[in-house]
Amino acid sequence: MASITLEGLRKTYTGDVHAVKGIDLAIEDGEFVVLVGPSGCGKSTLLRMVAGLETITDGTLKIGDRVVNNLEPAERDIAMVFQNYALYPHMTVYNNLAYGLKNRGFKKLEIEERVRKAAKMLEIEEYLDRKPRKLSGGQRQRVAMGRALVREPAAFLFDEPLSNLDAKLRVQMRVEIKQLQRRLKTTSLYVTHDQLEAMTLGDRLVVLSAGKIEQVGTPMEIYARPASMFVAGFIGSPAMNMVPLEYLQTRGTHDLLNDLPADTDTVGIRPDDMRLSPPDAPHLIVDSTLELFEAAGAESHLYVRLADSDQPTVIRVSGQPPVKEGETLRFYVTREALHPFNSAIGLRTGD
Amino acid sequence: MVERRPFLNILTHLVLIAGVLIVAFPVYVAFIASTHEPSAFVRGVLPLLPGDNMFASYRQMLSSGWQVGGTPPVWLMLGNSLIMALTIAIGKIAISIISAFAIVYFRFPFRMLAFWIIFITLMLPVEVRIIPTYAVVANLGMLNSYAGLTLPLIASATATFLFRQFFMTVPEELMEASRVDGAGPMKFFKDILLPVSITNIAALFVIMFIYGWVQYLWPLLVTTDEDFYTIVLGIKRLMASSDRVPAWNLIMATVTLAMLPPVLVVLFMQKLFVKGLTETEK
């Protein structure tokens, strides 16, 4: 158990490619932190730097109170779960779990005890004598987690561990990882590009873009108050609609736009904050044409085009409202649903 | 071809049978010739059924050799060939797998240069460099020794290249996982890489064993002592009697015996061999 502290962490590859551009982050003991961002944002590189698989160009990395910048992965007291599991193909599941312990000079009896315990926790006891290729994707995933678990490390590092699984299994494993982490209270750093995975798993999210931190916060903080247009577009699905303030002003049905921060020029509205029936609170009224109706079971997505503009916009409503494509829809937005942004700098205004 | 028509079935079988006959018939004739008396083979009409001279021919070749032609017993030559083929096969694999490991998994200055230098030696088989190589071996006093027979043939660019290609397909995460598991480079090599390459090693072993077994020119040059004659050399010496009728029964008995070890190696390692050449188990 330990905290992880990143101070000004940088990674520069030869040829002046800056993959990670100065990350400051403090992960508390027992916390589950998710690094999330689009591909190429440096999140995997950052994780691999923490693991010791990539060298650190600049900055300080501490696990617990130790500076571990120049330590080998094995000396950092971390365990890693890889995207493609990286199980040793010629070893049985038992030996896959035991290998790290053997290398650390554990006694045979203790290895046996730890492996059994981890296998029980992950319900892979009956596969202990099999080779990895005889296992299904989900079972391999469990073995990969077991290999991390038996070591009882100071921190778990997960590198997109669920992205090779099918959708159903992914949800199941997501829940299991969360429960396991709650039970063990081991500090965890988890990398994913899936915003839903990030929202549901993390105690805190770190949204990365182009090697820099965009925002750090609890999932709901980030969802409720995205600090930049990038975060607003990345977290939440379907993505937040961005409407120019000018457009709303010309349609100006209400003076509730007046108290937006001074340099606001774009307003973000979540698809589920666009109501088809007028709320009690003061609200904007916007007309639009329905272009595409997408029924997704419990909810529907309405792809509309705002009246007198070619602004594409998505509305999410529960159930299936009685609307037809081509129809003119009127929707209502309250003041609380407006997220003010300045599009020139891409940040939230009024912070 | 996915078609399964009876006519095609018959045709493919005919082609296969014809192929087998073409390959197997000379081998059969060689065996038959070894079971007849010396003159049977040169009478003009080839006997196609085994004769009664079989045990005599084989006993003579195995026990005493053919003193007239200056050939030691086949046992000795088979032993020499076996030592030579095994040393070459194992030596080639050991050296090339370590070179490939260094080239793929370590970043050192002139890494690619080292690789290309190894690769270029493909253009320099023994036959090309035979005189300088002979000079080196002779100056080192290794004529008429197993070291002289095998050392110059051990370095192998082909095997290094093969292992390099294979190592590059082994997922990098395997190495990273073992690093996290506390294995150093040599431990990773021994515990993970070697077992994963076992089928490739087996396939190479078969190829290299046969390469070593059929060597002719090099043993001919470096051995003058009949204690170091290899079986291929022995066959040549049996035939090289210009002033006599060759003892075909003895020659063919030796040939048959010489064919056995490679056949056994292929038979026993066939499963691994095919696996190593076709599938990659990762």
User: How do residues B184-199 score in pLDDT, each as one tens digit?
Assistant: 899 999 999 999 998 8
Q: Report the pLDDT averaged over residues A106-125.
A: 92
- Which segments of A128-166 does DSSP mark as H helices, in order? 137-149
Q: What is the architecture, at CATH level 2, of domain A4-233?
A: 3-Layer(aba) Sandwich (3.40)
Residue A6 is predicted with a pLDDT of 92
Residue B280 is predicted with a pLDDT of 52
How close A216 comes to chain B (CA, Å)?
Answer: 28
- Rg over alpha carbons for chain B, rounded to the nearest Å, is 23
Q: Rounded to whole angstroms, how far apart are CA atoms B54 and B255? A: 14
More confident residue, B54 or B188: B188
Structure tokens at B269: 């390692």
Interface check B107 vs A, CB under 8 A: no
Give the model's confidence band at A351: pLDDT under 50 very low, under 70 low, under 90 confident, else very high: low
Contact (CB<8Å) A78/B180: yes
User: How do residues B32-48 score in pLDDT, each as one tens digit?
Assistant: 888 888 777 777 777 77
Nearest by CB to A86, from B174, B182, B198: name it: B174
User: How do residues A282-303 score in pLDDT, each as one tens digit?
Assistant: 888 888 889 899 888 888 999 9
pTM of the full predicted structure?
Answer: 0.81
Residue B69 is predicted with a pLDDT of 65
Nearest by CB to A86, from B176, B187, B198: name it: B176
More confident residue, A235 or B3: A235
Interface check B56 vs A, CB under 8 A: no
Q: Which long-range contacts (CB under 8 A, 24 or more apart) does B238-242 make?
A: B238/B66, B238/B69, B238/B71, B240/B69, B241/B68, B241/B69
User: Among residues of chain B, what percentage have pLDDT more than 90?
Assistant: 39
* Best residue in B174, B180, B191 for a mutation probing chain A (most A CBs within 10 Å): B180
Q: Report the pLDDT averaged over residues B64-89.
A: 85
Is CATH 1.10.730.10 correct for B34-278? no
Interface check B195 vs A, CB under 8 A: yes
How close B281 comes to chain A (CA, Å)?
Answer: 8
Task: Please state, as a whole number, how many other Cβ atoms lie within 10 Å of the Cβ of residue B278.
Answer: 9
Residues 6+ apart with CB under 8 A from B181: A74, A99, A100, A103, A147
| pLDDT surpasses 50 at B282 | no
Q: What is the architecture, at CATH level 2, of domain A242-348?
A: Beta Barrel (2.40)
In chain A, domain spans: 4-233, 242-348
Residue A253 is predicted with a pLDDT of 60
In chain B, domain spans: 34-278
Residue A325 is predicted with a pLDDT of 85
Output the average pLDDT for chain A. 89
User: Among residues of chain A, what percentage have pLDDT more than 70?
Assistant: 99
Q: How many CA atoms lie within 13 A of B247 on its CB side?
A: 20
CA distances from B250 to A243, B67, B233 (A): 97, 12, 14
Residue B13 is predicted with a pLDDT of 93
* Best residue in A44, A49, A78, A80 for a mutation probing chain B (most B CBs within 10 Å): A80
Residue A28 is predicted with a pLDDT of 92
Beta bridge partners of A36: A192, A207
Which H/E stretch holds residue A77?
Answer: none
Angle of the B231-239 helix axis to the B248-278 helix axis, nearest 10: 150
* Best residue in B181, B191, B279, B281 for a mutation probing chain A (most A CBs within 10 Å): B181
